[in-house]
Structure 1
């Protein structure tokens, strides 16, 4: 990322921070018009934008277990005749990549069924599919239950896990969740699974440590917002322990 892009990301971050402060003070109605304009412009996508395009996100890509996602993204060994994905074939003209995503999902389920760390890998698969679905569907219906393609994708995963007897590891999706909640849940999961790899000893340069600090500060805000619901989640969510 070049210097210009860094400056751009810093500007967006500062704008989001200012918006949140204005939102907090909005009881006085002084900032009502400005807040409404900002919300209309950015809606709920600032977290996705900042984490997918700005310096915070790459810090995880070099860390331990996060590399599991790279394995799930492989294009090899996909069954083009996967019958579990037949219901999604006709939808590929409306949702680019949905049919291929289903086949990758199927391959990943089959590949992890005999792994010793199957539970951990299933958690990562759960959030991997979150991320892929977000990129395809975030501009469509806000809730999972309202999107036929997402439901069909879920059904394909459920049918495969039933076939290979992975009921103990396959995590069911909550249809009442919206796409923004999914994304934030993934951010929290990835942080807690990889936090043990984050450090700033003498082997790290200042820029890397600054990125870690910004990333942890970002996660802290998310955690504070979700802490009540985190405490009520079952053990399928890794951050229940934190």
Structure 2
């Protein structure tokens, strides 16, 4: 990424409230407290002197924040602090280290920085020194890209004269986005995903640079279905599930087209219909049996007669009414 594009990103980031606040905490003069944390670093050479100076600069920055008693969101500040350290290392060691930290002696402060952060900020911030300047820069720029995505409307970024700077920045992000997505994100056919690089990347499709480039009408060469195709290509269980579904469909089709299967299915359908008719017949007969003794009997004698027709009944002194029709 060229220096002009670096400046474009810095310009955009300064419009983010959290970045603006963190950037206001500049290094203080070196104090005895700084020496306390960095005293284990001896000045045996020019490189050692630079390492010790860097250590004091880092401690000064954190001491300044602590002295102001400012409440910070560690989720936002830790990545910014990491980016700030990377930037300081690059400024001091870019000639000696060139593009590889193994050529420098900065690993001597690797354990000091987390210790200082924990003591002064009462929070934890984990970072690492492996890789090279280019890899660090890509991770840093991706981290801030996602912050810009979340705040682009709220903070009215990329409007007016800022649009061209945003377009340049997002076009650069597009070039590195896919590489890191492939390295860090695992997608599943169900729609879920897992992320191995949560410190600087987000795997959701809505963060694809194509969306912002299109929304801002920026010039780009991405096809309209780029986000969807990229995600589909990265689904690890897609082929297995599709093959399983196709196999199931083929099995069903084979069964449907099998004459034996058709005969068995027809036989069970006939049995089901006959059983339904038989059940209907039994229920109807039961209902008729219950209603056969229900007729007009105003005196109730015939009802008593039927109720006791299987028993010996004394009918003396009882009136018997006989219903008849004249012919």
State the TM-score, normalized to the length of structure 2.
0.48
Secondary structure class of the residue paired with 1:228: helix
Q: For residue 169 of structure 1, what is the aligned residue in structure 2?
A: 124
Q: For residue 240 of structure 1, what is the aligned residue in structure 2?
A: 202
Rounded to whole Å, the distance in 2 between the matches of 1:144 and 1:202 is: 35
Name the CA shift for 1:49/1:95 in 2 (closer, same or farther; >3 Å).
farther
Give the conservation status (yes or no) of the 8 Å contact 1:55–1:211: yes
Task: Using the TM superposition, give the Cα deviation of residue 117 of structure 1 relative to its aligned residue in structure 2, in angstroms.
Answer: 1.3
Instruction: Check if 1:60 corresponds to 2:10.
Output: no
Give the conservation status (yes or no) of the 8 Å contact 2:41–2:48: no
Instruction: Check if 1:192 corresponds to 2:154.
Output: no
Task: Using the TM superposition, give the Cα deviation of residue 96 of structure 1 relative to its aligned residue in structure 2, in angstroms.
Answer: 8.1
Give the conservation status (yes or no) of the 8 Å contact 1:92–1:98: no
Name the CA shift for 1:212/1:96 in 2 (closer, same or farther; >3 Å).
farther
Give the conservation status (yes or no) of the 8 Å contact 2:42–2:48: no
Task: Using the TM superposition, give the Cα deviation of residue 185 of structure 1 relative to its aligned residue in structure 2, in angstroms.
Answer: 0.8
Give the conservation status (yes or no) of the 8 Å contact 1:69–1:128: no
Instruction: Check if 1:125 corresponds to 2:88.
Output: no
Rounded to whole Å, the distance in 2 between the matches of 1:202 and 1:59 is: 7
| Structure 1: gaps (5+ residues) | 1-46
Task: Using the TM superposition, give the Cα deviation of residue 151 of structure 1 relative to its aligned residue in structure 2, in angstroms.
Answer: 0.9
> C-alpha root-mean-square deviation of aligned residues, in Å?
3.5
Q: Which digits, 9 at most, give the CA deviation of each residue in 1:170-217, with x for residues without a partner?
A: 213143x11211111111111212323335979932x32121112111
Task: Compare CA radii of gyration and give the structure with the larger one.
Answer: 2
Name the CA shift for 1:97/1:63 in 2 (closer, same or farther; >3 Å).
farther
Rounded to whole Å, the distance in 1 between the matches of 2:36 and 2:137 is: 29
Q: Which digits, 9 at most, give the CA deviation of each residue in 1:138-181, with x for residues without a partner?
A: 33333334421x21232221332454585x62213143x11211
Rounded to whole Å, the distance in 1 between the matches of 2:30 and 2:143 is: 27
Task: Using the TM superposition, give the Cα deviation of residue 49 of structure 1 relative to its aligned residue in structure 2, in angstroms.
Answer: 2.6
Task: Give the one of 109, 112, 115 matched to 1:159.
Answer: 115
Instruction: Check if 1:178 corresponds to 2:132.
Output: yes
Name the CA shift for 1:145/1:69 in 2 (closer, same or farther; >3 Å).
farther
Rounded to whole Å, the distance in 1 between the matches of 2:168 and 2:158 is: 19
Give the conservation status (yes or no) of the 8 Å contact 2:30–2:56: yes
Give the conservation status (yes or no) of the 8 Å contact 1:78–1:103: yes
Task: Using the TM superposition, give the Cα deviation of residue 129 of structure 1 relative to its aligned residue in structure 2, in angstroms.
Answer: 0.6
Q: For residue 216 of structure 1, what is the aligned residue in structure 2?
A: 170
Give the conservation status (yes or no) of the 8 Å contact 2:12–2:157: no
State the TM-score, normalized to the length of structure 1.
0.62
Rounded to whole Å, the distance in 2 between the matches of 1:98 and 1:58 is: 29
Q: How many residues align?
A: 189
| Structure 2: gaps (5+ residues) | 186-194, 205-327
With 187-196 and 99-108 compared, the bigger mean Cα shift is at: 99-108
Rounded to whole Å, the distance in 2 between the matches of 1:165 and 1:208 is: 35
